[in-house]
Amino acid sequence: MTMFIIQSALLLAIAYILGCILGCFLHRMFAEKPVETAAVASAAVAASAATAVAPRPAPASVPAPAPEPVKAPEPTPAPMPVVSEPVAKAKPRPRTAAKKPAAARTRTAKAAPMPAAPAARDDLKRIRGIGRQNEARLNAVGVNTFTQIAAWSKKDQAEMGERLAFPGRIEREEWVRQAKVLAKGGQTEFSKRVAKGEVATSTGKGTANLGKKPPLSAKPKGGKGDNLTLIDGVGNAIEKKLQELGVWHFAQIAKWTADHQVWIGNEIGFPGRPERENWVGEAKILAAGGMTEHAKRVEAGEITTSRKSKPSEK
């Protein structure tokens, strides 16, 4: 009997200890509220008594808590479209007449050598190389002031030199340099002499007959012109100038009047040459199919400044 009591006490003690261990384990696993020790111990003792000394079955495995589901990242909201506030339109300004560029209002350094004649005129004879006759000729083509001459480019000087029949003279006598000084109100040594009356050719008024422009043609009739070098006094260089003016045929020259010849002579830079060398008379013979002594020499190759006629020109 004594042994039975001792064994029962030991079993109760063992059951108490195991109940404490099991309670702590369950508390940690499930974080539940603590169970009173007495209730746990009673349940453990009852279980132990029912099974007597039978070995304690292994506790059922406690399933591990399921992991919390991973939340999908929230979609980034699409940016709201920016709606710009309507901008008040500026009131249209009243239209004003467009100002012309300065280049169009003022004459540049490369101004044409023959602009429209201004109201006031300078005494161009104060420039060395311009006498009363040259002044009259310059005035006739619209050159009246020192400012106009001062603005001539090298090309303008060359063209005017050809037109006045003394190429290179304008550059040699420095018309442009003198004109620049006089245009600013200055004086040159030559202009001082003119003012004193020491230069006879720079006094008085000259006359200039520039003639009358004859009928001209931009292109030759039938696409081919005549060999104008068959006319005495018309070499290869002058033929080119005549063609640039619009003279292509003997028949054109044959109809020139005296005024036409004066105009042509001035334009090619050889005033009086058409009259002196009888261009009109020779052109009439050649236009009719005849030949002059000069034309025969040209076709024979005896005059190097002229050329033989091409088959299309015969």
Q: What is the average pLDDT value for the chain, to the nearest integer? A: 78
Please answer whether residues 157 and 175 qualify as being in contact, where contact means their C-beta atoms are separated by less than 8 angstroms.
Answer: yes
- For 89-123, b/e burial (b = at least 16 CB within 10 A) is eeeeeeeeeeeeeeeeeeeeeebebbbeeeeeebe
pLDDT tens-digit readout, 94-123 = 555 444 444 434 343 344 455 554 558 899
pLDDT tens-digit readout, 74-91 = 555 444 544 444 444 445
Please answer whether residues 269 and 165 qualify as being in contact, where contact means their C-beta atoms are separated by less than 8 angstroms.
Answer: yes
Q: In the numeric block, which tokens belong to residue 59? A: 């506790």
What element of type H or E holds 277? none
3-state secondary structure (DSSP) of residue 46: helix
- Give me the mean pLDDT over the 274-293 stretch: 95
Task: Give 103's DSSP letter.
Answer: H
pLDDT tens-digit readout, 154-194 = 999 998 888 877 889 999 999 999 999 999 999 999 999 99
pTM, rounded to two decimals? 0.46
* Percent of the residues in the chain that have a pLDDT greater than 90, as a whole number: 44
* 17-26: long-range contacts, CB 8 A cutoff, minimum separation 24: 18/44, 18/56, 19/43, 19/44, 22/59
pLDDT tens-digit readout, 194-232 = 999 999 888 888 777 778 899 999 999 989 999 999 999
- pLDDT at res. 111: 43
- pLDDT at res. 38: 43
- pLDDT at res. 22: 81
3-state secondary structure (DSSP) of residue 288: coil
Residues in CB range of 306: below 8 A, 6 or more apart: 229, 230, 234, 235, 236, 298
pLDDT tens-digit readout, 237-246 = 999 999 999 9
User: What torsion do the CA atoms of 74, 76, 78, 79 make, to the nearest 10 degrees?
Assistant: 140
- Cα distance between the two ends of the chain: 170
